[in-house]
Amino acid sequence: MERHAQHAFDAEEVMAYLDGELEPRRASALAAHLVSCGECQEVAQGFRALSERMLNFEVEHPSAGMNETVLAALDSGKSSSESNAKDAVAHKGWNWRRVFARPRNWAIACAITAVTILAIAIPHTFRERSLPINGRSFTNLVTLERETPADKADHNGLFHGLHNGSEAAFSIDGQAANGELHAPETVGPMIVQTASLNVLATNYDEASAAIEKLAAAHGGYVEKLDAKAQTGNARELSAALRIPSKQLDGFLADVRKLGHVEEENRSNEEVGDQYVDLQARLKSARATEQRLIELLGTRTGKLQDVLEAERELARIRGAIESMQGQSTILVHRVNYATVQVELSEEYRQVLGTGSVSTGTKIRNALVEGFTNLEEGAVGLVVFLFSYGPSLLFWMAIVLVPGWFAWKRFRVRAQG
Amino acid sequence: MNSDDQLMLEFQQGAREAFVELFERYREPIYGFFRRRLDHPARAEELAQECFLALLQNVQRYEPRASFRNYLYGIAIHLVAAERRKAGREVVENEKLDSRAVEGNAAENSDAGIWVRKALGHLDNSEREILMLREYEQLSYGEIAAVLRMPVDTVRSRLFRARAALKDQLMPVK
């Protein structure tokens, strides 16, 4: 099939033309060319002859048995060569390029991934929310999970009787044990306790050292500690402590033993309503977050709408985190009472001569007198400069008309 | 007359007659496909059966993305490839083709047919497959490209080379 180098159509194009695979415009041109070009006619004839010759490779007809087997399988819905047939299509089907090209496969993969993530994330989230309430710590809850199924149901996010005797039960995130969301209706008392003590220590050194030890012994900790030891004054210690609510009475009794209690105050604040309100808002915000996520996942719209939805989602998530933080703090305040202890020692005045000489005192007084004089003069100048202009202005406004009014009054009186 | 794709979709909906019609249309072409590529008529018939059984079993997975012919010959190509792998024929393909021309079904083939088989045996595997799909299965360049997963231009150039080579084998320059 060697062709003249300058020929308008190459042999491959002639072949494609004969196969009906040449583009229409080129095919028309080639058809016209073939009429007049003997060389191309020869090439075309060569291809035709080859095809005809290939048809000599004949095969016999299939046997009737093939028909029976296939039609029997059609009727029975089964096949005798099931595995091979399945393999053929399965092998054909597992073309990774085709698998990745199908949106349906992506959707399935995304759904599986989402379900897996949720399956992993939900238990973790739940545990994170199971914060300590009223002395029941996270560790306790984990331990309780090993208890009986009934106990598990009890502790699975539910907190029964925040205080002894209370029958109220609610979920920390407003989610019932059966997975249905509903707002807690009744809540046991949630009390934030605070106490303050002013103690005159019998032995200040021992008492100040004992404060931290007592706090630790009762399961609490020191939040803030200030100690003062000024010359000529009694030493003082001010400590802000956080003590587990259940241990508060015992702790206060121990502190009282440190000396003479000059003042003691206790107060209780009910925060149950705050907590319920917080949980309700948290639940609402989570529902909104979920709706936004679903909206972003399932709906398509303008880019601006999508961005707006994402901004709203970010805002809601920020609010959720903030409310979770508030909830945690509130629960912590319930669990740990705040105790303010003011510890002071009995002051004993010490008799002794002053360390400063009389001459130094006189000199210091003289220096102080001059300093006061200078500061007074400077203060007067500063005052005049600061307020002088405005004083003159107001005098002009008020006194000048007054002066004329006075003169006129005098003239009338004399006349 | 219904198109192949239409018949396949009807069969997907449960129309038995649609499959029977398809089977009638492709029974001989599919058998011929396997027969020209394998030594033994019985094995060719088995694979042709398997090809249709695969069609039956996977009817619900069929999607009319490409033509039905593409789908069917795609299955056939994979069955042949699996058969060759199983028999370890890839390496000695050419020799087998030579020998089977004589030993196989010489009775059914004329001398010219035997020469064609022998000449085909000397072609490169890929070129031979493209040429056979074009000449015997009458697939278009696009369909061949889809079945063998290669660009259409590659199909055209290899087909041209295959024909040139075969012509050299069968019709030496005078």
Reading the block at residue A237, the tokens are: 């210690």
Topology classification of domain B1-89: Rna Polymerase Sigma Factor; Chain: A (1.10.1740)
CB half-sphere exposure, A250, CA atoms < 13 A: 12
Between B122 and A415, whose confidence is greater?
B122
Question: Which neighbouring-strand residues pair with A175?
Answer: A181
Residue of A nearest to B152 (CA): A21
- Hey, where are the domains in chain B? 1-89
In degrees and rounded to multiples of 5, residue A195 shows phi and psi of -145, 150
Nearest by CB to residue A50, choosing from B23, B149, B166, is: B166
The percentage of chain B sitting over the pLDDT mark of 70, rounded to a whole number, equals: 84
Between A30 and B106, whose confidence is greater?
A30
Output the pLDDT for position A188.
Answer: 60
Output the pLDDT for position B96.
Answer: 52
B169 has a pLDDT exceeding 80: yes
- Hey, where are the domains in chain A? 11-54, 190-349, 376-415
The verdict on a CB contact (< 8 Å) between B54 and A62 is: no
Looking at the complex, report in whole angstroms how far the Cα of residue A123 sits from the nearest Cα belonging to chain B. 38
Taking every pair of C-alpha atoms in chain B, what is the biggest distance, in angstroms?
59
- Give A118-130 as a 3 state SS string: HHHHHHHHHHHHC
Q: Which residue has the tokens 């004399």?
A: A414
Q: Is the dihedral of CA A238, A243, A245, A247 positive or negative?
A: negative
Q: How many whole angstroms from its chain centre is CA B165? A: 20
Output the pLDDT for position A150.
Answer: 38
Nearest by CB to residue B82, choosing from A54, A59, A87, is: A87
Q: What is the mean pLDDT of residues A151-172?
A: 36
Interface check for A91 against chain B (CB to CB < 8 A): the answer is yes
Looking at the complex, report in whole angstroms how far the Cα of residue B160 sits from the nearest Cα belonging to chain A. 6
**Secondary structure (3-state) at A159:** strand
Interface test with B, best of A21, A26, A70, A97 (most B CBs within 10 A): A70
Express the helix, strand and coil content of chain A in percent, nearest 5 each: 60, 15, 25
Pair type for strands A336-345 and A236-244:
antiparallel
Least confident of A180-184, A384-388, B80-84, B141-145: A180-184
On whether the CB atoms of residues A254 and A302 are closer than 8 A, the answer is: no
A73 pLDDT band, cuts 50/70/90, is confident
CB half-sphere exposure, A170, CA atoms < 13 A: 24
Q: What is the ipTM for the molecules in this complex?
A: 0.83
Output the pLDDT for position A357.
Answer: 84
Residue type, A386: S
Q: What is the mean pLDDT of residues B3-32?
A: 90
Window 38-77 of A: residues touching B by CB (8 A cutoff) are: 46-47, 49-51, 53-63, 65-67, 69-71, 73-75, 77
Task: Measure the CA–CA gap between A188 and A166, rounded to whole angstroms.
Answer: 6
